[in-house]
Amino acid sequence: MPHKPFRLDSTFSKKPTVFDLRFIAESEVFRYGISYDADRIHEEWLDVYDEKKDRSVFSRSNSENGDVVIEFGSSGKDVPSQIKSLAGSGIRPSQSFLAEIVDRDEETQGPRLQRVINWFKRTLAVIEPDARFRGLVETISTDEKFARFAAKFLREASTGITDIRVTKTAVPRKKLPPLPKEVEDAVDASDDAVAITYGRDGEEIILDASKKDIIRFHRILAKHHGTKGQTVTFPLHEESDGTCRLLHLLPALYRLGENGGVFVVDELERSMHPALARKFIEFFLKATNAAGSQLIFTTHESTLLDLELMRRDGIWFAERDDAGASHLYSLADFNVRKDLDIEKGYFAGRFGAIPFLGGIDRLMEDETVTAEVGA
C-alpha cells in the first residue's frame, strides 16, 4: 500500500498512515479504518452504529511475535464461518482483511460485509484531475439515454457541441503502422472477445481479440453547426480540455438518477470556466434524489465560496502552517451571517487558508531596481 509520511518532520517517518471513514451503506452506518506503514498493517477495524454507539464487526492487531490477529465483536456474530476461518488461516501482514475477502462470492461474504464491499466497489468513485471515464465510448454506443443526456448537457453548457456520436471503423491489421507495444500485447494476450485500451490523444481503441487480424477503432465525434448551417464534426481529442473534462465527468451526474453515489473529485474546476464548474455543482444538487449521494471536491476557485450554493459545514479550508503541514477546518467554525460575502471575507483574510504573496511584490521591486541600475 502506498505510504508517504510527512517528510518535513522526521518524527513522522516512523509513524503509520491512518484512514478513518464513516459512511452509510444500505441504511447502516459503518466506520472503517486502517493504520499502516510501508511494511505492514498495524490496525484495521470495522464498526457499525446501532443508534447508541459504534459496535465492532471485526478488529485487527498484531501479536508480540508479529502474527496478524483478527477478532470479531458483538456485531460480527453473523459473519459467515468461512470468513472467520479465513481470519485464522494466516493473513498477509501487508494486506487488509477487507481486501482478503473482496473477491469471495456474496454468500461467503455475508450480508453485512457485502454491504461494505459494495459501497467501496460501486458507490465510492474517486476522480483525479486527469482521470478519464474508462468505457465512455461503449457507454455512448450502447446507452442511448446517456448519449442524449450527455449531448443535451454539452449543448446547455455552451460548448458549441450540438450532438455526439460514435463511429466504428474496422481496419486490417496488416494495413496499419506498427501498433504500440501495449496494444500489441493486449491483442495477443486477450482471450476475451473485446479488450479496451487507450490510443494516442485519448482515443479509445476497441480490440477484437477473436479476429486478431482486424482492429476495430471506435471514436467519439462531436457535432457542431458551421457558419452556413452545415454540420461539422470533430474527434473528441480536438475539443478543448474543458469540454473533454466535462464529458468524462458526466457519467457521475448520470448515475445520480439511477442509484446515487459518493463522488470525490480532485480539482473540479480543472480546465473549466468558473461558471461551468458552478453549474455542474448546481446540477448535482438538483439531481441528488437518490439517497446517499454526495459530492466531495477540491478547488482553488474562490467564486464557489457562496452560501447560496453551499452550506457552511460543506465548505472547508486547507491552511499550511509554518512547519509545512496542512490543516483542515470548516467555515462552520466561524460565526458568519447568512448574507455575508464569503469570497470577499476570504480574500480579506478572515478565514485564513490564503497564501502570503508579499514576497513576489518585493521581488518585483528588487528586479526593477536592478534593471534601473543596469541601465
Residue 62 has pLDDT above 70, yes or no: yes
Confidence of residue 216 (pLDDT cuts 50, 70, 90): confident
Mean predicted lDDT score pLDDT of the chain: 85
Tens of pLDDT along 303-315?
A: 999 999 999 999 9
- For the chain, give the secondary structure using H, E and C: CCCCCCCCCHHHHHCCEEEEEEEEECCEEEEEEEEECCCCEEEEEEEEECCCCEEEEEEEEECCCCCEEEEECHHHCCCCHHHHHHHCCCCCCCCCHHHHHCCCCHHHHCHHHHHHHHHHHHHEEEECCCCCCCCHHHHHHHCHHHHHHHHHHHHHCCCCCCEEEEEEEEEEHHHCCCCCHHHHHHHHHCCCCEEEEECHHHCEEEEECCCCCEEEEEEEEEEEECCCCCEEEEEHHHCCHHHHHHHHHHHHHHHHCCCCCEEEECCCCCCCCHHHHHHHHHHHHHHCCCCCCEEEECCCCHHHCCCCCCCHHHCEEEEECCCCCEEEEEHHHCCCCCCCCHHHHHHCCCCCCCCCCHHHHHHHHHHHHHHHHHC
> Mean pLDDT over residues 90-115, rounded?
88
Share of the chain above pLDDT 70, in %: 87
What distances in angstroms separate CA 252 from CA 127, 150, 287, one per listed residue?
10, 11, 11
Domain spanning 243-359: CATH 3.10.50: no
Residue matched to cell numbers 487488509 = 96
Residue 55 has pLDDT above 90, yes or no: yes
Confidence of residue 203 (pLDDT cuts 50, 70, 90): low
The residue type at 7? R
Residue matched to cell numbers 514576497 = 359
Residues 276-280: contacts with CB under 8 Å, at least 24 apart: 276/157, 276/242, 276/246, 277/301, 277/304, 278/303, 278/304, 278/309, 279/157, 280/246, 280/249, 280/253
Segment among 77-86, 222-231, 312-321 with least mean pLDDT: 77-86
Note the pTM of the prediction, 2 decimals.
0.82
The pLDDT value given to residue 338: 85
Give 135 or 228, the one with higher predicted confidence.
Answer: 228
Tens of pLDDT along 140-197?
A: 888 999 999 999 999 988 899 999 998 888 888 788 777 777 767 776 776 554 555 5
Q: Where are the domains of the chain?
A: 10-115, 136-238, 243-359
The pLDDT value given to residue 292: 65
